[in-house]
Amino acid sequence: MPPTPNRQPAKPTGLECRMAVLGADVRLTPHRREVFEVLQASTDHPTATDLFTRVKDRSPGISLATVYNCLEHLTGAGLIKQVHLERGQSRYCANLHEHVHFHCETCGKVIDAHPAADFDPAKFWNLPAGTRVSRMELAIHGTCSACAAR
């Protein structure tokens, strides 16, 4: 195996595919790309500060303000989602599949939960006839299995 180059070759990444599928129009600066890649590799729904700490290892010159700016552009283009679960800092999620967030009130962990069956929010929730759902933000709070076993 040759050594991994610092800069990735221009091959389509998950981000390019995602942009094509969404028809997202956002300029992919190296920082935006890196913030996206670090978020996509994180399963813990990090905050901007968490991401800053992780991206800094790869891009020592990046600032927290730049990370916020990247997150704003990526969220605006629909490439990632901003998650509000508690008071305080927003978290971010790169999972665009239909899912809700389970928040453990004991350890603070946030887990993605995908629907077990085909789920149509317009049918599940008793919404007025003719309502069109464009977005759903549903959070479930409780105790995760690790905390419950303690």
Residues that bind Zn ion (CB under 5 A): 93, 95, 104, 106-107, 109, 112, 144, 147
User: Which of 39/70 has CB closer to Zn ion?
Assistant: 39
Cβ nearer to Zn ion, comparing 29 with 106: 106
Euclidean distance between CA atoms 118 and 115, whole angstroms: 7
Min dist CB 143 to Zn ion, Å, is 6
Query: Cα separation of 77 and 2, whole Å?
Result: 35
CA gyration radius, the chain: 18
Contact indicator for 74, 94 with CB cutoff of 8 Å: no
Nearest approach, Cβ of residue 113 and Zn ion (Å): 9
Q: Nearer Cβ to Zn ion, position 44 or 72?
A: 44
Q: At its nearest, how many Å lie between Zn ion and the CB of residue 84? A: 12
Residues 6+ apart with CB under 8 A from 51: 35, 38, 39, 42, 67, 71, 92
Q: What minimum distance in Å lies between the beta carbon of 120 and Zn ion?
A: 20
